[in-house]
């Protein structure tokens, strides 16, 4: 054993002894403060005996935490991750009770409820002490982070010399929101990268415009796999299978990823020594954790979806710290929602029930686990890492994208960026940190709050179908029902709402329309018709439906297929513009800004576009939209900041777009990111699938999913 190794062993022993001593002292202090915690027998003991009891108890607790805790966490992976955070305190307290009981002298005792508190404090103190001692030792610091993230490679292959790249997705953070947060001093790390502190800028900030479907499923699929073809919304009905696809449903995510790989013939952005953390899709990465598209498959421990939780919670101090933050976040949300109700803040949506726990999971547990996984990937020297941090998106949906609650989340995300930047200094290779978003969010009250009925209610009224009593009482509901009756040549009177769907000419009863919402984008499908219905067919079946929707003040425009024009955009007061004429006459799309026409035309070409695509009203003056879901910060359609995402990249990388050019669509972002990987790692990074297709490069071979190429005619 060489001298260097002996020094490392001695240093490790010294740190362990110091942590043990501090833990013993902490236990003594807690025994003096807490009435239900004692370290002596009922008859009394000497100071030496009490100190020995504390030392044995602290040592036993530390040993049990190191040996038993990882086994408990692995068993707890069978329960939902949200429940895991709530059980951390009680399990840690149980370990302390066991540590006191194994004292050979039989001294000491602690009440179960007090054991939870003592265990939490001791774990936090031990973690802080160990971390402080390791910070000044690069090797020890690196080993500690390896253990926390559980990412050490078994074979320890030599690390490539070229720089690695970390892609951090701040879910839902729009370009303007990021810029305003930097100007307000909320995100000092990003401000420093942009040179706002007077130093030279290390990063540049660019804007990119999303597709019509401005939501994580479409954007992340396009970014990671190079294609979001046939993803018209967050959720949609597919007539050929009779299934509703939902982007955050594991089976749907797996199918969408399979379709993207088949469409591009390429594994994904992370195919070269990549890691995917906290994403909907894998991106072709070898290492995947907390990835939705693999949640339904049997995988190895290293790649199954929830293995990332074990990697993080296997350290008891880590688990306690996150659990304490989880509890604090639940209390914070309850306080913020109570304040909003007391001050009658508008717009406002319900934030009760389980939502405080859902928010705490997204803003604390998911963030901590994903950041730890990214740190481990960097210390393992991985070439490309892509991770999604969903905290801001979750809070902005319910508190508003520009509110104080959301701004505080941005500040905590900025601290996570600073931590990852610090860890990069200890990585075995240099790293370039790219930060980007998948979409923004647009403010506005809900469609239901403004008009008293849902989009589904309005569609049913326009079809002459029964609507709920609350909707019948609204002005919008009454107008829609009267229009439907007039179109059907029926008298305008109460009680007609009890009519049943009409029969088809074959005597088969028509099924009712399926109405789905994705933010301020609505989709209406008629499941009994196997093809995408045309405008003419819809008018023949429900003559009042399209006029009812198009003329409603909460609707911006409709997209339908036309037998005469191929596709048309419909608006209020009889506006009707064929898709091919939108550039010269945007009609109802004028309020939605540049690029709206191209986005609508692209979605019209998808095989699974709904019979009627409905985009809500949009006010260009304040960026407001009306969500068809219960969200006051929404995304999924066109209108406002939801389509304005950002790309924050190191200046050492080439500019993502030429002078005066604009980055449009998630697929173009994919090509930019892949180009940067090639800049850093050379030709071993596969070229983008589009660049290898014959219609892009004359005579080029056609790519297939396994990374080889073949002639397209084969």
Whether residue 22 lies inside any domain: the answer is: yes
- Look at the chain and report how many structural domains it folds into: 3
pLDDT digits over 77-89, tens only?
544 544 555 555 5
Do 651 and 544 fall within a single domain?
Answer: no
Whether residue 174 lies inside any domain: the answer is: yes
pLDDT digits over 29-78, tens only?
777 777 777 676 655 566 777 777 777 776 776 666 666 655 655 555 54
User: Bridge partners of 205?
Assistant: 648
Distance CA 635, CA 171 (A): 11
Distance CA 182, CA 176 (A): 10
Question: What is the average pLDDT across 341-359?
Answer: 86
CATH number of the domain enclosing 253: 3.40.720
Whether residue 212 lies inside any domain: the answer is: no
Whether residue 193 lies inside any domain: the answer is: no
* pLDDT the model gives residue 83: 52
* pLDDT the model gives residue 290: 85
Do 17 and 97 fall within a single domain?
Answer: yes
* pLDDT the model gives residue 66: 64
Q: Among 295-309, 354-368, 401-415, 630-644, which is the least confidently predicted range?
A: 295-309
Beta carbons within 8 Å of 409's beta carbon, 6+ residues apart: 363, 391, 392, 395, 396
- Domain containing 50 equals 8-136
Do 411 and 491 fall within a single domain?
Answer: no
Distance CA 60, CA 105 (A): 14
Whether residue 686 lies inside any domain: the answer is: yes
Q: Are 92 and 320 in contact (CB under 8 A)?
A: yes
Do 321 and 432 fall within a single domain?
Answer: yes
Question: What is the average pLDDT across 631-660?
Answer: 94
DSSP 105-125: T---EE-HHHHHHHHHHHHHH
Question: What is the average pLDDT across 377-393?
Answer: 94
Do 131 and 237 fall within a single domain?
Answer: no
Do 342 and 395 fall within a single domain?
Answer: yes
Do 507 and 359 fall within a single domain?
Answer: no
Whether residue 91 lies inside any domain: the answer is: yes
Question: What is the average pLDDT across 315-326?
Answer: 71
Question: Is 502 a residue whose pLDDT tops 60?
Answer: no
Do 181 and 297 fall within a single domain?
Answer: yes
Q: Are 476 and 450 in contact (CB under 8 A)?
A: no
pLDDT digits over 217-227, tens only?
999 999 999 99
pTM exceeds 0.85 for this model: no
Query: 344: burial class by Cβ within 10 Å (0-12, 13-18, 19+)?
Result: exposed
Residue with tokens 């209108």: 639
Do 233 and 314 fall within a single domain?
Answer: yes
- Cα 519 to its chain centre, rounded Å, is 15
Do 464 and 551 fall within a single domain?
Answer: yes
Question: What is the average pLDDT across 545-553?
Answer: 95
Query: Cα 265–266–270 angle (5° rounding)?
Result: 165
* pLDDT the model gives residue 101: 60
Whether residue 600 lies inside any domain: the answer is: yes
Do 417 and 476 fall within a single domain?
Answer: no
Do 388 and 278 fall within a single domain?
Answer: yes
Whether residue 307 lies inside any domain: the answer is: yes
User: Bridge partners of 558?
Assistant: 570, 614
* pLDDT the model gives residue 28: 76
The count of residues in the chain is: 714
Q: Are 295 and 131 in contact (CB under 8 A)?
A: no
Number of continuous H segments (helices) and E segments (strands) in the chain: 24, 24
Question: What is the average pLDDT across 550-577?
Answer: 95
pLDDT digits over 631-645, tens only?
999 999 999 999 999
Distances (CA, A) of 700 to 116, 245, 556, 572, 691: 65, 35, 43, 48, 8
């Amino acid at each position: 054993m060489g001298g260097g190794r002996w020094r490392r062993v001695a240093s490790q022993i010294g740190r362990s002894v110091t942590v043990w001593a501090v833990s013993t002292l902490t236990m003594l202090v807690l025994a003096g403060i807490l009435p239900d915690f004692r370290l002596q027998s009922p008859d009394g003991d000497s100071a030496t005996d009490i100190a020995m009891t504390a030392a044995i108890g602290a040592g036993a607790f530390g040993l049990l935490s190191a040996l038993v805790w990882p086994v408990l966490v692995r068993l707890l992976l069978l329960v939902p991750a949200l429940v895991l955070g709530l059980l951390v305190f009680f399990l840690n307290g149980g370990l302390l009770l066991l540590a006191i009981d194994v004292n050979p002298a039989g001294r000491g005792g602690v009440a179960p409820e007090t054991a939870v508190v003592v265990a939490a404090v001791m774990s936090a103190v031990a973690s802080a002490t160990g971390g402080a001692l390791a910070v000044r030792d690069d090797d020890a610091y690196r080993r500690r982070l390896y253990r926390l993230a559980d990412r050490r490679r078994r074979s320890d292959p030599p690390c490539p010399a070229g720089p690695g790249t970390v892609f951090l997705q701040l879910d839902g953070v729009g370009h303007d929101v990021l810029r305003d947060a930097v100007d307000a001093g909320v995100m000092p790390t990003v401000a420093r990268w942009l040179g706002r502190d007077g130093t030279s800028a290390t990063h540049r900030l660019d804007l990119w415009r999303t597709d019509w479907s401005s939501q994580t499923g479409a954007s992340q699929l396009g970014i990671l796999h190079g294609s979001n073809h046939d993803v018209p919304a967050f959720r949609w009905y597919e007539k050929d299978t009779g299934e509703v696809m939902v982007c955050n449903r594991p089976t749907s995510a797996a199918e969408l990823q399979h379709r993207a790989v088949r469409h591009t013939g390429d594994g994904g952005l992370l195919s070269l020594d990549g890691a995917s953390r906290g994403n909907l899709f894998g991106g072709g990465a070898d290492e995947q954790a907390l990835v939705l598209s693999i949640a339904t498959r049997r995988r190895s421990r290293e790649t199954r979806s929830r293995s990332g939780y074990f990697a993080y919670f296997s350290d008891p101090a880590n688990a306690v710290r996150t659990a304490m933050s989880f509890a604090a976040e639940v209390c914070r949300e309850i306080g913020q929602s109570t304040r909003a109700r007391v001050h009658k803040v508008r717009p406002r949506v319900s934030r009760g029930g389980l939502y405080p726990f859902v928010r705490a999971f997204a803003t604390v547990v998911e963030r901590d686990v994903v950041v730890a996984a990214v740190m481990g990937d960097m210390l393992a020297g991985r070439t490309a890492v892509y991770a999604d941090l969903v905290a801001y998106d979750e809070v902005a949906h319910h508190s508003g994208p520009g509110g104080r609650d959301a701004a505080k989340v941005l500040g905590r995300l900025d601290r996570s960026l600073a931590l990852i930047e610090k860890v990069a200094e200890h990585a075995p290779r240099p790293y370039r940190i790219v930060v980007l978003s998948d979409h923004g969010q647009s403010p506005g009250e809900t469609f239901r709050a403004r008009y008293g009925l849902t989009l589904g209610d309005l569609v049913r009224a326009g079809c002459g179908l029964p609507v709920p009593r609350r909707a019948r009482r609204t002005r919008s509901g009454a107008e829609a029902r009267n229009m439907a009756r007039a179109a059907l040549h029926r008298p305008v009177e109460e009680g007609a709402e009890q009519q049943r769907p009409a029969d088809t000419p074959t005597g088969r009863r028509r099924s009712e329309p399926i109405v789905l919402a994705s933010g301020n984008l609505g989709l209406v499908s008629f499941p009994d018709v196997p093809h995408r219905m045309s405008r003419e067919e819809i008018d023949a079946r429900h003559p009042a439906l399209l006029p009812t929707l198009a003329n409603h003040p909460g609707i911006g425009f409709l997209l339908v297929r036309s037998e005469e024009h191929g596709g048309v955009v419909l608006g209020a007061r009889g506006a009707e513009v064929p898709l091919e004429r939108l550039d010269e006459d945007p009609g109802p799309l004028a309020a939605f800004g540049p690029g709206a026409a191209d986005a609508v035309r692209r979605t019209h070409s998808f095989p699974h576009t709904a019979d009627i695509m409905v985009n809500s009203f949009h006010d260009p003056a304040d960026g407001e939209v009306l969500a068809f879901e219960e969200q006051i910060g929404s995304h999924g359609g066109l209108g406002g900041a939801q389509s304005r995402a950002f790309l924050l990249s190191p200046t050492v990388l080439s500019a993502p777009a030429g002078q005066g050019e604009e980055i449009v669509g998630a697929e173009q972002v994919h090509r930019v990111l892949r180009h940067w990987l090639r800049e850093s790692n050379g030709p071993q990074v596969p070229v983008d699938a589009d660049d290898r297709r014959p219609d892009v490069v004359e005579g080029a071979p056609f790519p297939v999913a396994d990374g080889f190429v073949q002639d397209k005619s084969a």
